[in-house]
């Protein structure tokens, strides 16, 4: 347990330095003049000109050598200071806190929804492998996983909002606004988790310990509860860790489509405007989130599966 | 008996209607546009707070494009055109209840002057308060479009409470008919009616601005009824929304023009006849009707008819004549090479057109032009990048050509754009390595003269030189499009894109 946590803490530190260095190098090597990009981000394309870019260059010291700028960033990082957005002038921490909250809200609802939808359907499909329901679920999951989230989102807006008028099409506010973007993400996640749950269920139900449970006279429901659920949960939850990549990638697309003020959306805009501190801060937070969530997945598996505790 | 029944009916009616009245009072009018809110600084996001009628400027622009009093009730200019005195409107209160003073106005203008973009281009010597109710602006040389520059959104007048000690803007405390309730950058801000407003109070009590970057999202927001007013629709959505009977689709020409900027020093483009041939190769009518689905926007000259003072109906229109284009190029010695692309002395007639996707039609139009140029043996390559690449390429000289959407109401007087674009050094968004002394003299005359007739004559000279020499090649004029719900009455589009005019609208009963 202690080893597990300390390993993740070490990993977090490495991620922070790597993400910082990589984003820094990548932004510097992107084509185009940074001062003009930042000026375009600030003042809009109608007002960006040589004079505006010059002012930006002077104000931000963009002429300094790259290595000095990077050393500055490392020093600020060591003091837990993420700097100030080059476009809005607001501290990066403030912007990220505002946007991260919205993204986390979206991601959590999406994961919960996918957990409600995916595994139960997978288990039901596993009752009669190759049956009609199993085959229908197979087609649906392949379809949902192969469609880009952008298309799923558009279809959901079109069906549930424009035609049925049940939910707002886009924007951000109460719980009603969360349903469509979260569902867009959840459907893709559920498609995978239902497959994992189905396969795990089939394996578990064919295993000797499960058959022994039935043989010794436990009713099927009781057998499933005592010997099935935990064993199925381990691969489903482990795989959730892998799917976080899909979730983080999806957040970028879904936030833009639904005009949702999240961190993925902020990252895209920061890259376009060459807002280096925002890119570094956002990438850092996303990288750390990845470590933390994977750590949580480890921890949950650790608690569910007693065999790991012995090992 | 009859009267009793009437009274009963009236009571019943009002009982039925009263929830509607309450509902209308509570309802929020939502405006959707693609532009995100990047902060509070007027030079960055000022346009959004002006359009939603939160913040105001000294001068407003009337529907005819002429300056009208706003926070300045009147003004006088000295004989030599170098001293302007603005008498402030009395009894104007900010949204925090404090009173607007001349010192605040000077403070706001001084900060605006320090920012790049607009006021820094005016030859201002000093701005000072005269007592409590007037402001004096001294210029180093006469500058006739000063009023239009003061109407620019970066020159908003904000209360002292808006600024931090270092002059940065931390909140919007202004004077408009609506005041901010909440701001959630980058997507939205909400407003309510400001009861202490100096002018006529708006009917609609609550409004919201929502930024949605994707055209698909905006269209769906209009269709689902979540938003009442949606701006900047793409051509395909426009047709679909026009078929929706809960919506009305409007289009208004703007003083914005899609032009091709050419580097006159780039060897293949160096002969002045080459841009002429490129212009003849452009099928503007085809682009306007097939691509943009707005047949009237094909540009016959730089200035659209809506810019009445500048559009010159007597000019011979730009036409589509690829045959003549080929002849011109052949006459200059350009001959087809092995792949059909014209060559002269080993130089291919090839160049790269840079453009940017912020205005979604630009890459589309660029692709059409690439095709049309190929028909006359010209090889154009399209590079879609960031809008900043165009001024950057102008500055470092690497730009060959660019397709841009130029705004002639940057400040509501096009002179503000023209003086930036066609000066001796050219302009980041205008001429490149091209110069006309006659044009510079004409712009200078219009800038400094107080004689209306002379200005009128010089404007015609300017339009003619631009048409004859094509330092930038006009392609299509720009149309602002909007879908508006039939729940809203009195909707109109401001051709100067200054205001969404929500204070003039009301809920349909």
Query: B129-172, pLDDT tens digit by residue?
Result: 999 999 999 999 988 889 989 999 999 999 999 998 888 888 99
The residue whose two tokens read 């001084």 is B110
Q: Give the residue among A311, A195, A186, A199 at the shortest CA–CA distance from A250.
A: A186
Estimate the share of chain B in helix, then strand, then coil, as percent rounded to the nearest 5: 35, 25, 40
- Inter-chain contact B118–A47, Cβ cutoff 8 Å? yes
- Inter-chain contact A88–B39, Cβ cutoff 8 Å? yes
* Average pLDDT of the residues of chain A: 82
**Residue B165 sits in the same domain as residue B275:** no
Q: Where are the alpha helices (DSSP H) in B31-87?
A: 42-51
The answer, for B188 touching chain A at a CB cutoff of 8 Å, is yes
- Inter-chain contact B221–A87, Cβ cutoff 8 Å? no
The answer, for B87 touching chain A at a CB cutoff of 8 Å, is no
* Token reading at A147: 């469609």
- Inter-chain contact A31–B385, Cβ cutoff 8 Å? yes
Mean pLDDT value of segment B197-203: 93
Pick from A42, A50, A168: CB nearest B226 = A168
pLDDT for B19: 45
Mean pLDDT value of segment B308-332: 92
Please state the φ and ψ torsions of residue A70, each to the nearest 5 degrees: -70, -40
Beta pairing, strands B350-355 & B379-384: parallel
**Residue B63 sits in the same domain as residue B202:** yes
Q: Which residues of chain B make contact with A88, given a CB cutoff of 8 A?
A: 38-39, 44, 185
**Residue B424 sits in the same domain as residue B343:** yes
Q: Which residues of chain A make contact with B395, given a CB cutoff of 8 A?
A: 50, 53
> Distance between CA B204 and CA B26 in Å, rounded?
9
* Average pLDDT of the residues of chain B: 88
Q: What is the pLDDT of residues B230-242, one digit of tens each?
A: 998 887 788 888 8
The answer, for B488 touching chain A at a CB cutoff of 8 Å, is no
Q: Please check whether residue B481 is in contact with residue B292, taking contact to mean a CB–CB distance below 8 angstroms.
A: no
Residue B409, number of CB atoms within 10 A of its CB? 24
**Helix (H, G, I), strand (E, B), or coil: what is residue B166?**
coil
CA of B29, closest CA in chain A: separation in Å? 14
Q: What is the pLDDT of residues A275-289, one digit of tens each?
A: 888 888 888 888 888
Helix axis angle for A276-304 and A2-29, nearest 10°, is: 160
Q: Which residues of chain A make contact with B396, given a CB cutoff of 8 A?
A: 33
Pick from A42, A161, A272: CB nearest B220 = A161
CA A120 to chain CA mean position, Å? 22
Residue B446 lies in a domain: yes
Domain harbouring B465, CATH code: 3.10.105.10
Pick from A38, A95, A258: CB nearest B217 = A258
Who contacts A203 (Cβ-Cβ below 8 Å, separation ≥6)? none
Instruction: Pick the more confident residue, B477 or A4.
Output: B477
**Residue B137 sits in the same domain as residue B268:** no
Beta pairing, strands B350-355 & B401-407: parallel
* Number of H-type helices and E-type strands within chain B: 14, 21
> Distance between CA B348 and CA B5 in Å, rounded?
89
For residue B318, the 8-state DSSP code is P
Tell me the β-bridge partners of B403: B260
For residue B63, the 8-state DSSP code is T
Residue B1 lies in a domain: no
Q: Which residues of chain A make contact with B41, given a CB cutoff of 8 A?
A: 89
pLDDT exceeds 70 at position B6:
no
For residue B294, the number of C-alpha atoms closer than 13 Å in the C-beta half-sphere is 21
Residue B50 lies in a domain: yes
- Inter-chain contact A88–B44, Cβ cutoff 8 Å? yes
> Could you give the percent of chain B with pLDDT greater than 90?
57
Domain harbouring B159, CATH code: 3.40.190.10
The answer, for B394 touching chain A at a CB cutoff of 8 Å, is yes
> Could you give the percent of chain B with pLDDT greater than 70?
95
Pick from B35, B117, B213: CB nearest A47 = B117
pTM of the model: 0.80
Residue B203 lies in a domain: yes
The answer, for B397 touching chain A at a CB cutoff of 8 Å, is no
CA of B463, closest CA in chain A: separation in Å? 22
For A249-288, letters b (16+ CB in 10 Å) and e give: ebbbbbbbbbbbbbbbbbbebbbbbbbbbbbbbbbbbbbb
Domain ranges of chain A: 1-92, 94-309
User: pLDDT-derived band of residue B229, with 50, 70 and 90 as boundaries?
Assistant: very high
**Residue B283 sits in the same domain as residue B422:** yes
Residue B107 lies in a domain: yes
Q: Is A73 left (phi over 0), alpha (psi -120 to 50) or beta?
A: alpha
Q: Give the residue among B406, B413, B495 at the shortest CA–CA distance from B446.
A: B413
pLDDT for B235: 78
Q: Which residues of chain B make contact with A169, given a CB cutoff of 8 A?
A: 217, 220-221, 223-224, 226
Residue B5 lies in a domain: no
DSSP B371-383: HHHHHTT-EEEEE
Q: What is the mean pLDDT of each run of 10 residues along chain A (311 residues)?
A: 78 82 80 79 76 82 77 77 78 83 86 89 84 88 87 88 81 80 89 87 85 84 80 83 78 84 82 82 83 82 74 50
Tell me the β-bridge partners of B98: none
Cα A165–A166–A171 angle (5° rounding)? Answer: 90
Q: Is A171 left (phi over 0), alpha (psi -120 to 50) or beta?
A: left
**Residue B204 sits in the same domain as residue B308:** no
pLDDT exceeds 50 at position B94:
yes
For residue B301, the 8-state DSSP code is S
pLDDT for B22: 47
Mean pLDDT value of segment B442-471: 90
pLDDT for B18: 45
> Distance between CA B230 and CA B483 in Å, rounded?
5
Structural domain that includes position B306: 254-479
Q: Give the residue among B56, B182, B55, B159 at the shortest CA–CA distance from B98.
A: B159
> Distance between CA B270 and CA B434 in Å, rounded?
10
- Inter-chain contact B186–A172, Cβ cutoff 8 Å? no
**Residue B278 sits in the same domain as residue B129:** no
Query: What's the structural domain count of chain B?
Result: 2
Range in A226-230, B279-283, B368-372, B431-435 with the lowest mean pLDDT = A226-230
Pick from A89, A172, A257: CB nearest B217 = A257
**Residue B298 sits in the same domain as residue B192:** no
CA A123 to chain CA mean position, Å? 25
Q: Please check whether residue A205 is in contact with residue A232, taking contact to mean a CB–CB distance below 8 angstroms.
A: no
CA of A108, closest CA in chain B: separation in Å? 21
Pick from B214, B224, B427: CB nearest A162 = B224
The answer, for B46 touching chain A at a CB cutoff of 8 Å, is no
| Whole-number Cα distances in Å, B459 to A247, B428, B447 | 58, 22, 11
| Whole-number Cα distances in Å, B183 to A169, B34, B361 | 21, 16, 30
Helix (H) or strand (E) holding B31: strand B28-33
> Distance between CA A33 and CA A57 in Å, rounded?
10
* Token reading at A149: 């989230």
CATH of A94-309, one of 3.40.220.10, 1.10.3720.10, 1.10.630.10, 3.30.950.10: 1.10.3720.10
Say what the ipTM of the complex is.
0.74
pLDDT for B3: 55
Size of interface A-B (CB pairs under 8 A): 144
The residue whose two tokens read 């706001």 is B108
């Amino acid at each position: 347990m202690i080893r597990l946590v300390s390993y993740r803490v070490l990993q977090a530190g490495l991620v922070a330095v790597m993400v910082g260095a990589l984003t820094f190098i990548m932004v510097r090597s992107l084509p185009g003049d940074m001062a003009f990009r930042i000026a375009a981000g600030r003042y809009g394309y109608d007002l960006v000109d040589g004079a505006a870019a010059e002012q930006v260059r002077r104000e931000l010291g963009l002429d300094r050598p790259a290595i000095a700028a990077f050393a500055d960033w490392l020093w600020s990082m060591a003091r837990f200071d993420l700097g100030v957005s080059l476009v809005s002038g607001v501290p990066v921490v403030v912007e990220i806190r505002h946007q991260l909250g919205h993204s986390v809200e979206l991601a959590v609802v999406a994961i919960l929804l996918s957990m409600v939808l995916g595994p139960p359907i997978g288990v039901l499909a596993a009752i009669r492998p190759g049956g009609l329901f199993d085959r229908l679920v197979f087609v649906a999951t392949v379809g949902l996983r192969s469609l880009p989230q952008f298309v799923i989102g558009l279809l959901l807006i079109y069906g549930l909002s424009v035609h049925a008028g049940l939910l707002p099409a886009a924007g951000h506010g109460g719980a009603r606004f969360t349903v469509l973007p979260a569902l867009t993400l959840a459907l893709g996640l559920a498609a995978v988790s239902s497959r994992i749950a189905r396969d795990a269920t089939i394996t578990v139900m064919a295993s000797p310990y499960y058959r022994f449970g039935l043989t010794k006279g436990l009713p099927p429901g009781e057998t499933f509860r005592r010997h099935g659920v935990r064993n199925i949960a381990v691969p489903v939850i482990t795989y959730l860790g892998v799917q976080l990549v899909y979730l983080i990638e999806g957040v970028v697309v879904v936030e833009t489509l639904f005009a949702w003020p999240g961190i993925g959306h902020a990252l895209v805009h920061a890259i376009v405007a060459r807002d280096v501190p925002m890119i570094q801060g956002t990438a850092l937070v996303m990288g750390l989130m990845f470590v933390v969530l994977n750590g949580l997945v480890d921890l949950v598996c650790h608690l569910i599966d007693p065999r790991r505790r012995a090992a | 008996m009859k009267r009793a029944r009437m009274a009963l009916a009236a009571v019943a009616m009002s009982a039925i209607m009263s929830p509607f009245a309450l509902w209308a009072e509570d309802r929020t009018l939502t405006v959707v546009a693609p532009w995100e809110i990047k902060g509070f600084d007027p030079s960055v996001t000022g346009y959004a707070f002006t359009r939603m009628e939160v913040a105001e400027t000294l001068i407003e622009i009337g529907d005819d494009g002429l300056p009208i009093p706003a926070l300045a009730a009147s003004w006088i200019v000295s004989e030599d055109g170098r001293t302007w005195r603005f008498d402030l409107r009395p009894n104007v209160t900010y949204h925090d209840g404090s009173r607007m003073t001349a010192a605040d106005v000077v403070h706001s203008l001084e900060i605006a002057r320090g920012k790049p973009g607009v006021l820094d281009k005016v030859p201002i010597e000093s701005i000072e308060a005269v007592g409590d109710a007037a402001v004096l602006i001294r210029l180093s040389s006469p500058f006739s479009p000063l009023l239009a520059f003061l109407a620019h959104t970066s020159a908003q007048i904000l209360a002292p409470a808006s600024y931090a000690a270092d002059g940065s803007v931390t909140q919007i405390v202004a004077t408009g008919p609506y005041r901010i309730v909440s701001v959630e950058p980058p997507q939205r801000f909400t407003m309510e009616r400001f009861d202490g407003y100096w002018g006529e109070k708006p009917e609609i009590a609550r409004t919201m601005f929502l930024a949605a970057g994707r055209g698909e999202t905006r269209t769906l927001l209009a269709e689902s009824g979540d938003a009442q007013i949606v701006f900047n629709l793409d051509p395909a959505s426009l047709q679909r929304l026009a078929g929706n009977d809960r919506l009305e689709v409007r289009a208004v020409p703007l003083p914005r023009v899609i032009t091709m900027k050419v580097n006159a020093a780039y060897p293949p483009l160096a002969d002045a006849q080459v841009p002429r041939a490129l212009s003849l190769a452009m099928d503007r009518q085809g682009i306007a009707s097939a691509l943009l689905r707005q047949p009237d926007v094909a540009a016959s000259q730089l200035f659209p008819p809506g810019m009445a003072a500048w559009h010159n109906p007597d000019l011979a229109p730009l036409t589509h004549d690829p045959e003549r284009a080929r002849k011109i190029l052949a006459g200059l010695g350009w001959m087809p090479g092995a792949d059909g692309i014209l060559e002269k002395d080993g130089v291919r007639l090839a160049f790269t057109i840079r453009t940017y996707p912020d205005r979604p039609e630009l890459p589309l139009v660029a692709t059409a032009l690439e095709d049309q140029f190929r028909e006359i043996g010209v090889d154009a390559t399209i590079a879609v990048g960031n809008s900043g690449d165009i001024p950057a390429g102008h500055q470092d000289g690497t730009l060959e050509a660019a397709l841009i959407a130029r705004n002639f109401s940057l400040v509501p007087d096009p002179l503000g754009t023209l003086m930036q674009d066609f000066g001796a050094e050219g302009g980041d968004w205008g001429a490149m390595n091209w110069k006309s002394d006659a044009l510079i003299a004409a712009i200078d005359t219009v800038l400094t003269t107080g004689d209306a007739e002379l200005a009128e004559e010089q404007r015609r000279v300017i339009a003619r030189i631009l048409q004859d020499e094509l330092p930038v090649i006009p392609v299509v004029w720009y149309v602002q499009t909007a879908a508006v719900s039939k729940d809203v009455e009195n909707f109109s589009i401001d051709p100067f894109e200054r205001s969404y005019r929500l204070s003039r609208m009301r809920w349909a009963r």
